[in-house]
C-alpha cells in the first residue's frame, strides 16, 4: 500500500499539491475491505469508513453525500487478516476488529466484542465501538443564534469532528437538529449542479471513525479532504458591512454612505434588509421579490450609484411563501413553469394562484432563478442574504436550510462564471462549510450574549464552518442604546470573520456608529480591521488549503493544556494573534476594565503595552475604552495595509510588523480578490523571515512565487515596522548601506521605508 498523504501547511510549493486533490466519491478499490454485509474503507491511517447494509442485495453507497464528497485519497499502508473468526485491519494508528458475520444489535450500534477500534491516546489505550457516546466531543455549531440570550444555545450544538477523547465519529445516517440528514448528491445535467437523492438503503449504517488523538489540526485537514475545502470569500467580504432592518429609502441609504465617507469610516458592503421589497397586507411581508417603488423608484440607478462608490450590495430574502400573483415577475415565472411541464396542481400552486416554494424540484429551481432572481442580479445585486422563514420540505431527511444554501451557492457559480461564489446564510449541518459565509441570527443585545459569541465563533471551526458573521451590537434590544456595549461588540467584531453591524426593525435602536457619543473610541476598531486585511486574507487562504479556520480555539495549538479548554473567551485569530475581547461593562469611574488573560506557552507580544511576555501563565491588566486585549506570537510577521477606504483598491504599500522575541517566518498571500482563479493557484505567495543573533537581525522578503494573477503589481513597496525599544546603529539593504528609517521611542517602533522593488526580487535588510 502507498504511504500516508500528509497535511500540508501554508508553505510555498505545498499549495499546488493540495489544491490538485479531486472530488471523487469513489474510493480507491485498494482501500476497501468487504466482509459479507460489512464494508470498510481505509481513508487515512486515522480514518476508516464503516458501512453495513441492511439487506445483502442492497448496494453500498458510492455516491457523494451532503457531508462527504470525496473518498479518493492516496491509500495508506494497512494490513488485513482473519484470525479466530475475527477480521483485523491494522493501520499505523488504528486496529479494527470485526467478528465476521455479526450485525448491529440496533441501528448504528455494535457490541464492543463484535466490532471495535483501538488506538493510543497520549500513551493510553482507547477502545471504541459503534454506538459509544462521546462525552468529550468539542462540539461544532448550531443552525442559528435566533433567540440567543447568554449561552442558552449550547444544547443545540451538533458534534464536531474532534474530541478530547481522541476520536470522533461522523454518522451519515443520524438526524440533525433541524430534522435533516446527509442525503446523496447525484449529477444533474439539467441543472448543472449535483442534486439530492435518497439513499438506496436508508436503514443501513454509514460511519466515519476519526481517531486522530489530540492532533486536531490534522483531523480537520483530513475532514476537508473528504468533505470539501472551505472556499475563500471575496476580499471585499472581509471589510465593513453596514446593515440595519429598517424601512430606509434610497435617499436614506445614499445619505448613510455619504455620512460614512464624511466620518472617515471604511466600508465595502451595504446590506438592504427586507425593506427593499413590497410588503402586502394581510399577507404579511416576509417574502417578496419586487422592489418597493415608493422607496426605490429607480433601483438600477440606485445600485449603480452604490457601485460607483465601490460598494457591494446584498438583498435580504425570506423565500418560504413562494411567489404570489402581485409580484412583478409572477406572470413570466408562471409561463416558464407551464412551458417546462411543471405540475400545476394544488401541491405546487395554491388556490389563490401563489406558486409555492419548491426548491427541491429542479424545474422550479431553473424557472425561479431565471425569471425572478436573474433580473435583479442584472440590475446590480451582487449576492444574496438568505434569511429565515424557509418552510421544511415535505421530504424525509431533506434539510431546507442546507438545500437552499447548496442551490444558491452553486447557482451563483454557474450564473456568474469566473466570479467568486458567495452567499450569506444560516448553518445547514455538516458539509455546509462549502457554502462559506454564515449569518448567525437574531440574538439579544446584552453582555452575556456578547460573552458567548467568541466561544460560538471559534468552536464552529470544529466542523470547518469558518465564516460566521454576527449582528454586531446584537439584534433584539429591549432598552436604550448602550454605547459601551456597542463599542465592545464592534471591537470583538474586528477579530471575527465577518465585520457587520446590524439590529432589528426598531426606531430606538441605532447602528450608525457616528451617532454615538463614543464614536471616537469606535473608529480605531474600524481602522484596525482594515489594517489587518492582508493578514486576515492570508489566513483565509490557509483555511482553504489546510481546513484550519481563521478563528479557532486555543486547544488546536495547546491540546494538553487544560487552560486552553477552559478559557472559552480567548481564541486564535489566524496563526499569530491571540484575542481576549472585553465582554463585560466597566465598573470603574475612569471607564477601564480589569481583564485576566491566559497566555499559552512561548512568548507573546502585548500589542497594547509594547511588552514581550512569557507564556504559560495568567496576566491581569486594565484596559481603556479604546483598547482590545490582543497579543502577537513572538517571531510573527503581521502584514498590514496603510489606511484605506475600501478593499476594492488595494494599496501598493504593505506594512510588515516584525514581532520580537524569536526567529520566525510568515507568508503574504495575494490574488485578484474576486474570482475563482485562486483554485487554480493563480496567486502569489511572498515568504518573509526574521532571524536574530547577538549582532542584530536579518529580515528577508523573498521573491514572490506562484502562477500570478490578473492585475498583480509589478512592483511592491514595503514598510518594515520593527517592534523594538532600541534605535538601530546601522542598516543595510541587499548589502548596501541604508538609512531610510525613523524611530518612535513612544511606541518602541523602528519604521524602515523601502523603495519600490519588483515582486520577483529578493530583499535582505540587516539591522545592527
Residue pLDDT, tens place only, 100-129: 999 999 999 999 999 999 999 999 999 999
Residue 5, pLDDT above cutoff 50: no
Residue 393, pLDDT above cutoff 70: no
Residue 688, pLDDT above cutoff 60: yes
In a domain, 144, yes or no: yes
The CA-to-CA distance between both ends of the chain, in Å, stands at 53
Mean pLDDT of 68-78: 98
How far is Cα 531 from Cα 260, in angstroms, rounded to an integer? 18
Residue 6, pLDDT above cutoff 60: no
Least confident of 237-246, 285-294, 441-450: 285-294
**240 and 211: one domain?**
no
Residue carrying C-alpha cell 415608493 = 294
CATH number for the domain spanning 365: value is 3.20.20.80
**Percent of the chain surpassing pLDDT 70:** 96
| Residue 456 phi, psi (nearest 5) | -60, -45
**247 and 389: one domain?**
yes
Domain count, the chain: 3
Tally the residues of the chain: 768
Confidence of residue 18 (pLDDT cuts 50, 70, 90): very low
In a domain, 337, yes or no: no
Mean pLDDT of 204-224: 98
**Phi-psi label, residue 193: left if phi above 0, alpha if psi -120 to 50, beta otherwise:** beta
Residue ending a domain, among 547, 571, 593, is 547
Q: Helix (H, G, I), strand (E, B), or coil: what is residue 638?
A: strand
User: Which residue in 622, 629, 651 sits closest to 534, CA to CA?
Assistant: 651
Cis status, amide bond into 276, omega within 30 of 0: no
**142 and 288: one domain?**
no
**275 and 208: one domain?**
no
User: Which residue in 371, 316, 324 sits closest to 350, CA to CA?
Assistant: 324
The pLDDT, as a whole number, for residue 281 is 63
**88 and 215: one domain?**
yes
Mean pLDDT of 612-634: 98
User: Which residue in 547, 543, 561, 475 sits closest to 511, CA to CA?
Assistant: 475
**151 and 259: one domain?**
no
pLDDT digits (tens, 9 = 90+) for 311-367: 999 999 999 899 999 999 999 999 999 999 999 999 999 999 999 999 999 999 999
In a domain, 336, yes or no: no
Q: Helix (H, G, I), strand (E, B), or coil: what is residue 313?
A: strand
In a domain, 439, yes or no: yes
Residue 163, pLDDT above cutoff 90: yes
How far is Cα 618 from Cα 600, in angstroms, rounded to an integer? 9
Residue 282, pLDDT above cutoff 80: no
The pLDDT, as a whole number, for residue 284 is 64
Q: What is the mean pLDDT of the chain?
A: 94
CATH number for the domain spanning 135: value is 2.60.40
How far is Cα 458 from Cα 479, in angstroms, rounded to an integer? 29
Cβ distance 513 to 525 under 8 Å?
no
Domain that holds residue 703: 651-767
**182 and 243: one domain?**
no
**202 and 293: one domain?**
no
CA geometry: angle at 740 spanning 738 and 745, to 5°?
Answer: 120
pLDDT digits (tens, 9 = 90+) for 638-652: 999 999 999 998 999
Residue ending a domain, among 547, 566, 585, is 547
Residue ending a domain, among 547, 565, 593, is 547
Least confident of 9-18, 189-198, 282-291, 438-447: 9-18
Cβ distance 245 to 273 under 8 Å?
yes
Confidence of residue 392 (pLDDT cuts 50, 70, 90): low
**295 and 370: one domain?**
yes
CATH number for the domain spanning 729: value is 2.60.40.1180
Confidence of residue 8 (pLDDT cuts 50, 70, 90): very low
**296 and 218: one domain?**
no
In a domain, 241, yes or no: yes
The pLDDT, as a whole number, for residue 237 is 98
In a domain, 208, yes or no: yes
Confidence of residue 401 (pLDDT cuts 50, 70, 90): very high
- The kind and range of the H/E element at 208 are strand 205-210
The pLDDT, as a whole number, for residue 1 is 34
274-280: list long-range contacts, CB under 8 Å, 24+ apart.
Answer: 274/245, 274/316, 274/318, 274/387, 275/245, 275/246, 275/247, 275/248, 275/505, 276/315, 276/316, 277/315, 278/326, 280/324, 280/326
In a domain, 589, yes or no: no
Confidence of residue 2 (pLDDT cuts 50, 70, 90): very low
Mean pLDDT of 305-310: 97
Least confident of 247-256, 395-404, 537-546: 395-404
Q: Helix (H, G, I), strand (E, B), or coil: what is residue 82?
A: strand
Confidence of residue 724 (pLDDT cuts 50, 70, 90): confident
**197 and 266: one domain?**
no
Least confident of 68-82, 511-525, 569-583, 723-737: 723-737
In a domain, 198, yes or no: yes
**260 and 216: one domain?**
no
Confidence of residue 380 (pLDDT cuts 50, 70, 90): very high
DSSP 8-class letter at 244: -
Confidence of residue 63 (pLDDT cuts 50, 70, 90): very high
* Helix, strand, coil tally for the chain in percent (to 5): 25, 25, 50
Mean pLDDT of 223-236: 98
Q: Are strands 468-469 and 499-501 parallel, antiparallel or unpaired?
A: unpaired
Amino acid at each position: 500500500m502507498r504511504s500516508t498523504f500528509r497535511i500540508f501547511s501554508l508553505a510555498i510549493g505545498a499549495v499546488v499539491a493540495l489544491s490538485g486533490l479531486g472530488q471523487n466519491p469513489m474510493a480507491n478499490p485498494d482501500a476497501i475491505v468487504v466482509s459479507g454485509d460489512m464494508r470498510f474503507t481505509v481513508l487515512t491511517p486515522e480514518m476508516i469508513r464503516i458501512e453495513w447494509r441492511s439487506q445483502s442485495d442492497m448496494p453500498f453507497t458510492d455516491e457523494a453525500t451532503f457531508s462527504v464528497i470525496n473518498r479518493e485519497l492516496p491509500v495508506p499502508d494497512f494490513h488485513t487478516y482473519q484470525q479466530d473468526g475475527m477480521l483485523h485491519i491494522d493501520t499505523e494508528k488504528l486496529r479494527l476488529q470485526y467478528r465476521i458475520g455479526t450485525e448491529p444489535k440496533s441501528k448504528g450500534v455494535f457490541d464492543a466484542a463484535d466490532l471495535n477500534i483501538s488506538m493510543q491516546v497520549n500513551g493510553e489505550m482507547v477502545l471504541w465501538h459503534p454506538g459509544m457516546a462521546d462525552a468529550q466531543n468539542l462540539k461544532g455549531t448550531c443552525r442559528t443564534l435566533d433567540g440567543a440570550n447568554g449561552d442558552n444555545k449550547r444544547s443545540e450544538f451538533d458534534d464536531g469532528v474532534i474530541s478530547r477523547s481522541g476520536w470522533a465519529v461522523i454518522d451519515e445516517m443520524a438526524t440533525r437538529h433541524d430534522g435533516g440528514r446527509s442525503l446523496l448528491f447525484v449529477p444533474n445535467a439539467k441543472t448543472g449542479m449535483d442534486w439530492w437523492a435518497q439513499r438506496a438503503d436508508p436503514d443501513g449504517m454509514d460511519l466515519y471513525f476519526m481517531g486522530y488523538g489530540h492532533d486536531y489540526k490534522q483531523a480537520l485537514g483530513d475532514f476537508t479532504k473528504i468533505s470539501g475545502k472551505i472556499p475563500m470569500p471575496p476580499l471585499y467580504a472581509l471589510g465593513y458591512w453596514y446593515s440595519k432592518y429598517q424601512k430606509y429609502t434610497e435617499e436614506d441609504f445614499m445619505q448613510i454612505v455619504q455620512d460614512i465617507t464624511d466620518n472617515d469610516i471604511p466600508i465595502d458592503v451595504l446590506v438592504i434588509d427586507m425593506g427593499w421589497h413590497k410588503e402586502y397586507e394581510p399577507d404579511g411581508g416576509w417574502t417578496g421579490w419586487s422592489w418597493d417603488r415608493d422607496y426605490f423608484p429607480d433601483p438600477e440607478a440606485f445600485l449603480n450609484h452604490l457601485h460607483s462608490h465601490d460598494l457591494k450590495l446584498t438583498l435580504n430574502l425570506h423565500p418560504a411563501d413562494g411567489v404570489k400573483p402581485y409580484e412583478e415577475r409572477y406572470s413570466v415565472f408562471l409561463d416558464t413553469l407551464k412551458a417546462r411541464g411543471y405540475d400545476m396542481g394544488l401541491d405546487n400552486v395554491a388556490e389563490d394562484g401563489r406558486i409555492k416554494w419548491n426548491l427541491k424540484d429542479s424545474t422550479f429551481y431553473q424557472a425561479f432563478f431565471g425569471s425572478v432572481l436573474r433580473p435583479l442580479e442584472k440590475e446590480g445585486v451582487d449576492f444574496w442574504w438568505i434569511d429565515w422563514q424557509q418552510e421544511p420540505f415535505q421530504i424525509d431527511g431533506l434539510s431546507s436550510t442546507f438545500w437552499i444554501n447548496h442551490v444558491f451557492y452553486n447557482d451563483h457559480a454557474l450564473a456568474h462564471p469566473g466570479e467568486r461564489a458567495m452567499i450569506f446564510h444560516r448553518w445547514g449541518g455538516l458539509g455546509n462549510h462549502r457554502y462559506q459565509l454564515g449569518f448567525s441570527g437574531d440574538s439579544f443585545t446584552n453582555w452575556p450574549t456578547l460573552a458567548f459569541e467568541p466561544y460560538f465563533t471559534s468552536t464552529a471551526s470544529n466542523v470547518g464552518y469558518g465564516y460566521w458573521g454576527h449582528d454586531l451590537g446584537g439584534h433584539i434590544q429591549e432598552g436604550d442604546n448602550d454605547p459601551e456595549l456597542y463599542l465592545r461588540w464592534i471591537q470583538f467584531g474586528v477579530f471575527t470573520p465577518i465585520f457587520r453591524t446590524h439590529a432589528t426593525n426598531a426606531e430606538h435602536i441605532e447602528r450608525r456608529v457616528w451617532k454615538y457619543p463614543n464614536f471616537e473610541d469606535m473608529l480605531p476598531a474600524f481602522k484596525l480591521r482594515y489594517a489587518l486585511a492582508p493578514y486576515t486574507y492570508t489566513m483565509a487562504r490557509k483555511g482553504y488549503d489546510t481546513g484550519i479556520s481563521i478563528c479557532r480555539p486555543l486547544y488546536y495549538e495547546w491540546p494538553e493544556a487544560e487552560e486552553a479548554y477552559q478559557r472559552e473567551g480567548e481564541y486564535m485569530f489566524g496563526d499569530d494573534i491571540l484575542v481576549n475581547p472585553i465582554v463585560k461593562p466597566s465598573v470603574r469611574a475612569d471607564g477601564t476594565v480589569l481583564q485576566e488573560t491566559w497566555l499559552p506557552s512561548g512568548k507573546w507580544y502585548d500589542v497594547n503595552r509594547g511588552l514581550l511576555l512569557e507564556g504559560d501563565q495568567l496576566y491581569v491588566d486594565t484596559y481603556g475604552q479604546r483598547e482590545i486585549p490582543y497579543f502577537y506570537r513572538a517571531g510573527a510577521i503581521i502584514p498590514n495595509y496603510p489606511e484605506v477606504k475600501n478593499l476594492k483598491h488595494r494599496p501598493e504599500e504593505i506594512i510588515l510588523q516584525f514581532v520580537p522575541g524569536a526567529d520566525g517566518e510568515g507568508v503574504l498571500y495575494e490574488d485578484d480578490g474576486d474570482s475563482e482563479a485562486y483554485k487554480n493557484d493563480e496567486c502569489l505567495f511572498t515568504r518573509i523571515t526574521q532571524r536574530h543573533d547577538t549582532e542584530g537581525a536579518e529580515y528577508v522578503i523573498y521573491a514572490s512565487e506562484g502562477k500570478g494573477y490578473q492585475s498583480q503589481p509589478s512592483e511592491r513597496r514595503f514598510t518594515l515596522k520593527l517592534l523594538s525599544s532600541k534605535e538601530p546603529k546601522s542598516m543595510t539593504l541587499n548589502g548596501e548601506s541604508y538609512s531610510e528609517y525613523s524611530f518612535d521611542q513612544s511606541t518602541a517602533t523602528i519604521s524602515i521605508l523601502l523603495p519600490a522593488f519588483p515582486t520577483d526580487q529578493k530583499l535582505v535588510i540587516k539591522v545592527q
